[in-house]
Amino acid sequence: MELNMRDKTLPTPSILTAGELSVVFERTLDGIRLQRLSDTTTDRELLPARTLPLFTLRLRHCETKEEVQLDADSGWDQVAIASTADGAELDWRQAKPADLHVIVRVTADHEANALRWRLQVENGDSEWSVWRVIFPQIAITELSSDATVFFPRGPGEVQKGLWQREFRHQGLYPEPWTTMQFMAAYDEQSKTGLYVAMHDPNAGAKEISVASHPEERTVAFTFDHPAEDMGVGSNGFVLSGEAVWQLLRGDWFDAAMIYRQWARREARWFPELSDEGRDDTPQWTRELPVWTTTSGDRVQVVSRVKEFAAYMDVPVGFHWYGWHQIPFDNDYPHYFPVTEGFAEGVRDLQKAGIYVMPYINGRLWDMRDKGVEDYQFTRVALPAATKDDEGQPYVEMYGSKEADGSPVRFAVMCPATELWQDRVRSICSRLFDEYHVDSVYIDQISAMSPKLCFDRTHGHPLGGGHWWVEGYWKMLQSIRDAMPAGCMLTSECNSEPFARWFDGYLTWHWQHDGQVPAFGAVYGAAIQMFGRAYRGGETKGLALRMKAGQQLVFGEQIGWIDPDIVNEEESAAFLRQVVRLRWRLRRTFYAGEMCRPPRLEGDIPTVRADWQWKDEWWVTTDAVMTGAWRLPQENRLALLFVNVGDSPISARFHFEGRRYGVDGEQVRVTVIDQAETLETFVAPNAFHRELTLPPRTAYVWEVSPL
């Protein structure tokens, strides 16, 4: 059925079903709105009475800079809805203020209970530019008083009861607080919810947000896309990839599995995997169980790092800051000459089984890059710096000071420019070829949002699009092509679209309540995650155990910790225990995949400590942390249990092997710790067991079919 606005009558709403998900479109007097979105099996309505517009367009006049906004449900001259073979096509037309034609195509995926959306905007007006497109956007009504929201901050985070309290989180993807492109709302008791995602294989820039509105008992999920060629007349917009609304019967882990399936199939950044994980990542990198970090010259760091490695008695990675003569966060990117003895220090550490990774920054150029002198910035770097829509360079400051006490001001360099690509590549090549380091850490690439650059001379679309990540992809591929065999690259934080070109992500910012390992569920074996910020405070011992325990069950490489931790007996002993257990399980992590973490029954206490992320930073977790990792090619499973508290904890565990892909009528369970086998028993594929978890202890069940 086709609906046309010329008659101004209100037709019967149009219904589209996708398996157990049903959507109802309603024509308004001058637009189209979503009237209902329903789970037909549980008979639950997902939308509130007052729904958000399906899309919002923001236009800007090219000369006056006047901005106007158009919503899908009002202000249009003509609209139409037509059925198609696999869904529907929605059509909006407008003559003023700009000549616009918007087409939304929705496909009903019956098998997945999903609606898949594509959108394009045709702009026939040279005086107006499509500035931003907010699509999709959806408000979900309160599913229950105990319902949960998942959003992709850091590793992923869950928050309960957002419908009753103020909450807002947003970030310009890709960045560390918005690391992936999916969110979800769900009620585990009634087994209903919605997976809301952009399946964009190009990783285009987009503002992803979740916001509660307790006065309406709704939570809104939005994706706001800066258009390509922002400010250019007659520019249109084509959604990169597709938006997905999919019925969710489970929780955050089930949502992560939906996203993982898509990412492995279509995302341009997902690396190739074999039965041994990531073959283009060196074996030592895949196996490495622990990282230490400190700053200084050879005399200040080498003996301390060697002492740390001797105590751990496993291979160690060392993240070396302050190896250059320039101060930290100053005079970038002029890292040479190095400090005295750097080359000898690298060799000395490597002989002790330590892998050396120096720090550089991959985004910034100091605007006074030789003390207080503008040495090369204006003459060399300024043309390649990112510019705002007024033509001014984007500037950032990080608290470092020049010699005269003024703040160091950095320009953000444009990754699409040859100058910046060549500069970063040459720094890396010199470190690899002259100093024979094992890795280079290129700071900020996977840690900071794209800058919407408006410099026409750079050759990329102005403002939005996916040119930002593609510039880095080209840079990083050229570095990988030139670096010696057995070497690797890492970066700060864990924005997903650089995973194919980095071997490791520094996950030091995973520091929040409610964290879940969704990123590891999607990217386990695809890239190694390592490092938390281990800091001080009165509860630093407990904070260390919480972080190290969470790292183990999340599948991260442990540490990124000062080597002097070996002088703190109790903390060092716990850290060593976790590190050596991870070393025993190394192949499970680098060649396996994450499974749903076990749930224990019983009274599991919580623990709370100051993680010192920013001043005081209190985090609460369960005292017992659990994880599950499977080697599918061997039908073997590892279940991890860590009691980070000071008291023994009793719990009941119900195991069902087939839920983890372990077949057979019976299973063999081998209980191990860092050094030995504690117990072996045979049990049915499904069984209950009472557990007593000793304090400050980590151990593993290795499960395989008989």
List pLDDT tens digits, range 452-482: 999 999 999 999 999 999 999 999 999 999 9
| Confidence band for 663, pLDDT divided at 50, 70 and 90 | confident
List pLDDT tens digits, range 502-540: 999 999 999 999 999 999 999 999 999 999 999 999 999
DSSP type of residue 339? P
Mean pLDDT of the region 671-697: 95
| Confidence band for 9, pLDDT divided at 50, 70 and 90 | very low
In sequence order, the β-bridge partners of residue 528 are 504
Q: What is the pLDDT of residue 35?
A: 94
Q: What is the pLDDT of residue 12?
A: 56
| Confidence band for 2, pLDDT divided at 50, 70 and 90 | very low
Mean pLDDT of the region 576-590: 97
Model confidence at 594: pLDDT above 50: yes
In sequence order, the β-bridge partners of residue 463 are 228
Model confidence at 166: pLDDT above 90: yes
Q: What is the pLDDT of residue 10?
A: 40
Report the top-level CATH class of 594-705: mainly beta
Model confidence at 3: pLDDT above 70: no
Q: Are 247 and 20 in contact (CB under 8 A)?
A: yes
**pTM assigned to the model:** 0.96
Residue 663 CB neighbour total at 10 angstroms: 11
Q: What is the pLDDT of residue 135?
A: 98
User: Hey, do 5-266 and 594-705 end up sharing a CATH topology, with the first three levels equal?
Assistant: no
- How buried is residue 274: exposed, middle or buried, by Cβ count under 10 Å (0-12/13-18/19+)? exposed
Instruction: Kindly state the percentage of the chain with pLDDT values over 90.
Output: 96
Question: In angstroms, rounded to a whole number, what is the distance separating the alpha carbons of residues 674 and 577?
Answer: 6
Q: What is the pLDDT of residue 6?
A: 37
Model confidence at 652: pLDDT above 90: yes
Mean pLDDT of the region 144-164: 97
List pLDDT tens digits, range 315-366: 999 999 999 999 999 999 999 999 999 999 999 999 999 999 999 999 999 9
- 5-266 fold: Beta-galactosidase; Chain A, domain 5 (2.70.98)
Q: What is the pLDDT of residue 1?
A: 36
Model confidence at 229: pLDDT above 60: yes
Amino acid at 39: D
| Confidence band for 120, pLDDT divided at 50, 70 and 90 | very high
Mean pLDDT of the region 217-223: 98
* Residue (of 608, 606, 544, 611) closest to 579 by Cα position: 544
Domain boundaries, the chain: 5-266, 594-705
At residue 305, the 3 state secondary structure works out as helix
List pLDDT tens digits, range 13-35: 899 999 999 999 999 889 999 99
Beta strands in 188-282 (DSSP E): 192-199, 206-213, 218-226, 237-238, 242-247
- How buried is residue 550: exposed, middle or buried, by Cβ count under 10 Å (0-12/13-18/19+)? buried
Q: What is the DSSP string of 397-456?
A: --S-B-TTSPBP-EEEBPTTSHHHHHHHHHHHHHHHHHH--SEEEEETTTTSPPP----G
Mean pLDDT of the region 157-166: 97
Model confidence at 4: pLDDT above 50: no
Residue 12 CB neighbour total at 10 angstroms: 9
* Residue (of 113, 135, 117, 132) closest to 52 by Cα position: 135
In sequence order, the β-bridge partners of residue 219 are 140, 212
* CA 107, chain centre distance (Å): 27
Sign of CA pseudo-dihedral 326, 332, 337, 342: positive
* Residue (of 291, 351, 330) closest to 556 by Cα position: 291
List pLDDT tens digits, range 634-646: 889 999 999 999 9
Contacts of 506 (CB under 8 A, 6+ apart): 319, 441, 490, 491, 492, 493, 530, 531, 560
Model confidence at 276: pLDDT above 90: yes
At residue 543, the 3 state secondary structure works out as helix
* Residue (of 141, 147, 151, 219) closest to 189 by Cα position: 147
DSSP type of residue 190? T
Q: How far is CA 327 from CA 339, 420, 442, in A?
A: 11, 21, 17
Question: In angstroms, rounded to a whole number, what is the distance separating the alpha carbons of residues 524 and 518?
Answer: 10
